[in-house]
Structure 1
Amino acid sequence: MGRNTRKRRTPLATKIVAGAAALAVGGGGLVWANFYASAHEDHGGHNRTRSAGAQVATIDCPDVGQKIRDVPDRARGEVDGELATMDSQITNAYQRLATTRRAQAGDSQFVQNSILGPLKDRRKAIIDRIQLEINRAGGKADDNLDELAGCQGRPADQQNGGGQDDGQNGDGQNGDGQNGDGQNQDDNGNGVAGPVADDFVDINDVQPNSRNSRNGLAANGDGGSTGTFATDCGVNENNLFNSDNLIAAPGVDNGAHHTHDYVGNQDNDAFSSDEDLANADTSCQNQGDKSTYYWPVLRLQDGTQEFDANDQGGGAEGNIGKILKPAQAELKFVGSQQGDVVAMPKFLRIITGDAKSFTNGDANANTSWSCSGFEDRQVTDKYPLCPEGSQVLRTTNFQSCWDGQNIDSANHRDHMAFVQEDGSCPEGFQAIPQLQVRLAYDIPTPTVENGQVQNPYAVDSFPEQLHKPITDHNDFINVMDEDLMNEVVDCINRGEDCQ
């Protein structure tokens, strides 16, 4: 399997990651560590495993990008580039965490002194540049951003509490999760940090109607605008993959640090302009829909050497195994419970979910995992174990309230909002067609025995996010022509089902 690529520019800031990553790879690949020492318990009606120790498993850094608000348009490119460099710094630090376990065993302060301390200094320098760039462009940078420089070492089973302590919790000492070879006992035999047994749940053990996500409510219902519009854009038959993120990290090669599936627009990478998108081919049957729809790939960790096995965003950053394309990708736009919807502006950008939910917490999480035939049972923080003949489902309901002015915002979120409990939009926002994405996969069910998972599947993720299911996310850029968008709106507002 290959990928479509185009000649890329590589900004100087993005080259930082390459040298450190290359040093970490060797002898069959990068050694990643979870440091789970599993103990069995019964929780919430189904069996789970948890960590028996408190070993440092990953690096938890405050998400600076989520805290930035007032960024003048002419500074956004520079700020996005600085934030992407900060992500690369975390990746490098996590790689160092995962490849220095022997040193950590001999020095209880190794993690703090050799990894977290230097990382804080580098992040502080980036934050200072971000503040300077914002102020130079006529904005007013938050003087408190410096407080976000410090990161902490985090045990794999610790829930994010929102606080930071400059890395003092977790001193880098190894516990029961390490064997004599310096590798983790619970890495599924492939050296990759996650998923682990605790990341899976038998769908039969999930209570119906118990999904605990605050986000992702379906916008439409019995009232308001009840129509639907479906667009068929295939399942990435053209093998369009890359590890960029045009929305969050424009102009940055490998800005996502994980690989995406793309359907719809066929000219989508970090360097695609709006003009490029408008002039591109599309995989959608309706050629008026040149929108780009993309999500992190799912992989089966079965030892397959994919096209990106040695690449950044792929195997060099812990995303290994066979890429699984959806058997079906259903893309549908629906209406509002409270009334008519209005047209989306062209080039509107929406990110839903949070690729860093494992360390950020679940405030922006918008994950829904289930199995066909069990769709009243949805989970946000587990991968489902489906019975034979049942497909794994990923479902995403996007934000459907727009501020009426902006196609993007400084943190790529503030221009959009989810509907409220009654289906209405928050004050100052108006309803647009809600994109709903339903992906169905044919995946052999992993086996979980004695706290170990065999042949797991997992979503691609930033390395330090450990392939947690709660980090699933989805991205959309509207590139429908004006006639088609008007057709979508009219169909939904008339209460018809169209395609």
Structure 2
Amino acid sequence: MGRTLVILGVLGSLCLGVLALTGAEWPFGRAAAAVAVAGGEQPPPQDYVDLRTVAPAAPAPPNGPDASTGSFAEDCGRNAEGHRNSDNVVTSPGITDGAHHTHDYVGNLSTNAFSTDASLEAAATTCTDGDRSTFYWPVLRRLDRSGGPGSGAHGNTGRILEPVSVRVEFRGSPVSPVVPMPHGLRLLTGDPVAATSDGSLTRAAWGCSGLPGRSTELYPRCPEGSRLTRTLDFPSCWDGLHTDSPDHRDHAVFPAANGVCPHGTFAVPQLRVVVAYEMPSGAPFALDSFPEQRRSPVTEHAVFVDEMSDRQMARVADCLNQGRRC
């Protein structure tokens, strides 16, 4: 009788977990969800690497004669306001908790599952230049600390780590001028289900501030005194027609390794966001993720919605095309 009650209790917990995992961003069926809920909450040791053992990346190819060599940085804060939720207005619009993991936001202060271009345009922003765009990514948690928003939901235990800095920068193309992004453009980078997919969309680039030029798809162990970093590079080849697409990717893709955009696409300012954290050496940490992704580092991802005015975006493109640092 005792064993029967235990089995029933476990099955009941699994069923509750499956029922909770609904929403447009959830990519798997109920059987996969049940297995995920039964799994652990902390990544295995092989998901971590001492970054000093990782070879530096090969140097980028030289710029061509028509390159847009400028850069444009803006100060959008580091989410000191605590703007967080488990929504995803791009992939799960209109669904509260559609992401099943918590996101950190900078920029627009109103972003949630029900946001529209009109509501974003009317909201306040953390960007000092008035840019009302929204930038967001899954939070990072320290696993040997408990509590905090969303702790334990969908297996994402631990206390949220506050970024010590967030750098938002637009860069040019190494082979051509850029055209302004269209207002309302939606961009995704990385793959929130990379641990169970073919990995083709993985864009994880974890690093340490004291080891520039090195990055890894694994969680890095950084030397004492070095900050943990996440570099989030977004696609920069736009199809010239659409601000979104059914898979949220076909309308804007990454250039080839030499910087050339695919035929039929146009180079737009390339967005890079670098998030940094103070992390004691050896402290356990992990991303928020879908349950079946087991908080894998390769599930790193981020989202951008362009709400700059046409004048602001034209200023960005001009800065890049003229080779200035703005």
Normalised to the residue count of structure 2, the TM-score between the two structures is 0.89
Asked if 2 retains the 8 angstrom alpha-carbon contact of 1:91 and 1:462, the reply is no
- 1:97-496 to structure 2, matched below 5 A, reads 97-98=38-39, 192-209=40-57, 221=63, 223=65, 224-287=67-130, 289-309=131-151, 315-380=152-217, 382-446=218-282, 455-496=283-324
SS in 2 for 1:237: coil
Shift of 1:226: 0.4
Contact 1:20 1:92 (8 Å CA) reproduced: no
In structure 1, distance between residues paired with 2:84 and 2:163: 14
Question: Does the 8 Å CA contact 1:350/1:477 hold for their aligned counterparts?
Answer: yes
Q: CA deviation at 1:89?
A: 3.8
| 1:97, distance to aligned residue in structure 2 (A) | 3.9
Native 8 Å contact 1:387 1:445 kept in 2:
yes
SS, match of residue 389 in structure 1: coil
Shift of 1:199: 0.8
In structure 1, give the amino acid aligned to 2:138. Answer: P
Deviation at 1:23, TM superposition (A): 4.2
Supply the AA of the counterpart residue of 1:269: N
CA contact (8 A) 2:207 2:216 kept: yes
Contact kept? 2:24, 2:91, Cα under 8 Å: no
Distance 1:494 1:268 in 2: 33
**SS of the residue aligned with 2:201?**
coil
More contact order relative to length (CA 8 Å, sep ≥ 6)? 2
**Cα distance change of structure 1 residues 259 and 280 upon mapping to structure 2, 3 Å threshold:** same
Q: Secondary structure at the match of 1:261?
A: strand
Structure 1 residue 306, shift from structure 2 partner? 1.0
Partner of 2:8: none
Q: Quickly say closer, same or farther: Cα 1:218–1:473, change in 2 above 3 A.
A: farther
Structure 2 portions without partners, runs of 5+? 1-11
| Cα RMSD (Å) | 2.3
* 2:5 aligned residue: none
| Matched-pair contact (CA < 8 Å) for 1:209–1:378 | yes
- Amino acid of the structure 1 residue aligned with 2:192: A
Partner SS for 2:196: helix
User: Does structure 1 conserve the Cα–Cα contact (< 8 Å) formed by 2:140 and 2:285?
Assistant: yes
**Greater Rg by CA:** 1
* Superposed CA offset, 1:423-479 (max 9, x none): 111000000000011111101122xxxxxxxx4111111110011111101110000
Deviation at 1:94, TM superposition (A): 3.0
> In 2, Cα distance between the equivalents of 1:281 and 1:91?
40
- Counterpart CA distance in 1 for 2:146 and 2:34 is 27
Structure 1 residue 85: Cα displacement: 5.9
What amino acid does structure 1 have at the position aligned with 2:294?
Answer: L
Unaligned runs of 5+ in 1: 1-18, 26-80, 99-191, 211-216, 310-314, 447-454
SS state of the match for residue 274, structure 2? strand
Q: Distance in 1 between matches of 2:167 and 2:26?
A: 34
Secondary structure of the residue aligned to 1:94 is helix
SS in 1 for 2:115: coil
Q: Specify the SS of the correspondent of 1:360.
A: coil
CA distance in 2, matches of 1:207, 1:256: 34
Contact 2:15 2:34 in 1 (8 A): no
Q: Which amino acid is the alignment partner of residue 158 of structure 2?
A: G
**2 CA distance for matches of 1:277 and 1:256?**
19
Bigger drift between 316-325 and 227-236 goes to 316-325
The C-alpha deviation readout for 1:181-209, integer Å capped at 9, x for no partner, is: xxxxxxxxxxx432121111111111122
Query: How many angstroms does 1:92 deviate by?
Result: 3.9
The separation in 2 between residues aligned to 1:292 and 1:496, in whole angstroms, is 25
Note the C-alpha offset of 1:372: 1.1
Alpha-carbon separation, structure 2, partners of 1:218 and 1:398? 17
- Helix, strand or coil at the partner of 2:314: helix
Aligned equivalents of 2:16, 2:263: Cα separation in 1? 51
For 2:202 and 2:60, the matched residues in 1 are separated by 15
Between the aligned partners of 2:95 and 2:46, the Cα distance in structure 1 is 34
The answer to which structure has the higher helix fraction is 1
Change over 3 Å in CA distance of 1:298–1:272 after alignment to 2? same
Determine the C-alpha separation between the residues in 2 that align with 1:92 and 1:369. 28
